[in-house]
Structure formats: structure tokens, C-alpha cells
Amino acid sequence: MWHRLSVLALCGMSALLADVCGSLPTGSPTDYNIWNRPPQNKPPLSYRLSVKDGGPEFRITVSVLPFPSEVHDVVHAGDIEVARCRDGKRQQSLSFMAWQTLNFRDTFQAVDINFDGYLDFSIVTDVAAGFQSRSYWVYDPGSGLFVQNELTRGLRELEVSNIDFDSKKHEVSTRGGVCAACGCPGMTPDQGGNVDRYRVENNRLILIHKQKGAQIASQEGVFQFCTVTVSDLVGGTMRVTSVRRFDINGQPLK
């Protein structure tokens, strides 16, 4: 009799501790529409995040708050609940701020931003012509919580069209856009795009390479040529290492 009760108790406990993440998605599709229908009409959306092979695993739920009719500054735009997959116990409630209504919940992405071997996550919280900005939370294995620090704040301030995390080089690279500065037809991103590369040290972004394009015109406003100025970190100081010139068709000039 007692053996049967023990078995039933164990079965009940197993049911209570069942994985609550199930077949939840692990991240947003690459073709999400940030300007989709008003986010306040959408229910919360959950994702499954395993910060490392073998766990721990979390259910990340993004909820969006109704926006006021007029927004003149950043407001509390929504909340992110972090719960354990194994039993559904809530670990954290993280708020995020924004100044415009966006499709926040569909922009969840998981990536190791500080190259410590643990996945972190972010959502888009700002968009304007030619760039987007994300709010990041980094996983702290010591506390088992997701936190924000100098690195996440630095990444939040990068207003770029594209950002890439290179786990092999431990570098973060950003791109402003194809010929964003020059506006020269036929120029490749390497010729005319604004490109920055950073090294991550002690939760800080250290700029190590910068490529900036500019359009040069005469006093009458007539196009003359484009320049691409390249700077690199040399001896602890950013120094110009090359300046290249291109014509309106993107052909190198001497």
C-alpha cells in the first residue's frame, strides 16, 4: 500500500515538474516585420532559451503594454518574464522602454554577446530610417539571472542597420548601410559603407577599426569624388591608416 502511494506521489511530483517550454520557438524569424499590426492587440509571445548545451533552459515571454496616445519621451513599453523550463517557476520580470509602438515581441533573438559561452538575448526597441537599436540582457552564470551592464548599454546605443557577433574573433562589427555616407551608385559596402569593429573587454566595447565614407563636392555643390577613411587602434589610440578615393561609379581614383 505504502509502495503504491509512493509511486503515485512520485508521478504527481513529476507532473508538477514537467517541462513547460515544450515546442516553443527558439527565436524570431529573420523576416519579422517590425511595423506589424499594433502590438497592444497581440498576446504575449514565449520562446525557449537554452543558455548552454545541457541547460539551464528558460521560457522567455515578451508582453507589450498599450502605448499612450501621445508619446514625447521613452515610456514603459512592456515586460519580459523569465521562467524555468523545468517547472515554470518565474525567475525574473524585466521591463523595457521605448518611445514608439513596434512589434517588440516578434524580434526576440538569442546570441552570445560577451563570448563567455552562454547565450544572451535581445529585442528591438528603437527603429528609424536606416537603423535599428536593440535592448540586450546578458546571462550571468553566477546568479543564474539575466542582467544589463556597461556592455549591454553600449550595444543599445549603437544605431546601425546591421550588427554581427564573431564568436571566433570575439569581435562585434556594425554596418551603417550600403553607401550610407557617400551615396555613390555602384559602390560596394566595403568601399562606401560605414563599418566599425569592436573588441569586448571587461564588459566594454573597445573600438579597434573604423571605416567611414564621405562625399566631396565643390563649392558649387558639384560632386567630385567619395572618400573612405580607415582608422585602426594602434598603440591604444585610433589612427588613420588609409584614405581611398572613388569616382561616382565606385572606381578607385589615384
**What Cα–Cα distance (Å) separates residue 37 from each residue in 92, 95, 156?**
28, 22, 24
All cell numbers assigned to 38? 499594433
**What is the pLDDT tens value at each position of the chain, 254 positions in all?**
445 444 344 344 444 456 889 889 998 777 777 776 555 667 899 999 999 998 899 999 999 998 877 767 889 999 999 999 999 999 999 999 999 888 899 999 999 999 999 999 999 999 887 688 999 999 999 999 999 999 999 999 987 778 899 999 999 998 875 554 455 555 555 555 688 999 999 999 999 999 888 878 777 777 778 888 899 999 999 999 999 888 777 778 87
Contact at 8 Å (CB) between 41 and 64? no
Percent of the chain's residues with pLDDT above 70 = 83
Q: By C-alpha distance, which of 151, 142, 164 is closest to 51?
A: 142
The pLDDT tens digits for 204-247 are 999 999 988 887 877 777 777 888 889 999 999 999 999 988 87
Distance CA 91, CA 144 (A): 9
Q: How far is CA 132 from the centre of its chain?
A: 9
Those residues whose C-beta lies under 8 Å from the C-beta of residue 100, and which sit 6 or more positions away, are 67, 71, 126, 127
The CA distance from 1 to 113, in Å, is 55
Neighbours of 174 (CB within 10 A): 19
Query: What does the alpha-carbon distance between residue 138 and residue 219 come to, in Å, rounded to a whole number?
Result: 49
Residue reference for cell 525557449: 48
Q: What is the CATH number of domain 19-159?
A: 2.40.128
CB 254 within 8 A of CB 246: no
